Amino acid sequence: MSDNQNLLAGQRRALILDEVRRRGGIRVSELTRMLQVSDMTVRRDLDVLARQGALEKVHGGAVPVAERRTHEPGFEAKSALEPSAKNAIARAAAALAAPGSAVALSGGTTTYAVARELLDIPDLTVVTNSVRVADVFHGARPEEGTGALPNAATVVLTGGVRTPSDALVGPVADAAIASLHFDVLFLGVHGISAEAGLSTPNLAEAETNRHFIRSARRVVVVADHTKWGTTGLSSFATLDEVDTLVTDAALPDADREEIAAHLAELVIAGGQDT
């Protein structure tokens, strides 16, 4: 790839992760040739990704992490994974929200990206159990005394117990969500598969997500291609409960066909819809 030496560090690390996952491991020498960067640059990238828990360094290269079904990475670690895919998914998903509607967003780095795209949609009422998502809308408001921001969203943060991914879960969150009704829910997931449906490593988050789904007229799952085939400890919904899956163009054709057999609508960000 002739222009890889000009890639930003985040883009380069995303490519490294893709190769590690696709091939089940890769050598430093292969990465230097593929990315056209120095051995030192590759090793530095691998150090960063290993500290984030995204891969495991071995002698001469890297392999995927043998992830436990109960392992829940923190928000910062997940933010480093598939950033370009998440941004594309966010743009496609935000187009599904109508001005003036009631929108819910669960916790997660992909829903965080969706929140940034929703800032341009007027008069939304946003309910979220994500501290990070709430901060997106709060940061878009003018400082006190500088005047109201036209068409700004009304934001409700549920409260609850904070998870490693900065989602608020538990009885307080569940009670707040159960009393509300949403036009559309944008739902992030740890894993999605035909057998296990939607799943998460966190038992309390699974229950909170169930309440989100029950309260939504339309359920839109936002998940990059690496989430398909992944299973967490607790399933909280079947694919039949999902109206739309928004994913990225790196999802293989065989997986697209399997998903299309279970879902009414599959949206490929930057590609063709099914």
Sorted by where each begins, the domain ranges of the chain are 4-64, 75-269
CATH class given for the domain over 75-269: alpha beta
Look at residue 250 and give its three-state secondary structure. coil
Q: Considering the domain 4-64 in this protein, what is its CATH number? A: 1.10.10.10
The dihedral of CA 179, 73, 184, 114: what is its sign? positive
pTM for the full model? 0.73
pLDDT higher for 31 or 56? Answer: 31
pLDDT digit string, tens, across residues 55-71:
888 788 888 775 555 55
Q: What is the mean pLDDT of residues 114-133?
A: 96
pLDDT digit string, tens, across residues 157-215:
999 999 878 899 999 999 999 999 999 999 999 999 999 999 998 899 999 999 999 99
| Residue 17, pLDDT score | 86
Q: How far apart are CA 156 and CA 169, in angstroms?
A: 14
From the list 205, 177, 12, 16, the residue with the least C-alpha distance to 108 is 205
pLDDT higher for 273 or 175? Answer: 175
pLDDT higher for 21 or 3? Answer: 21
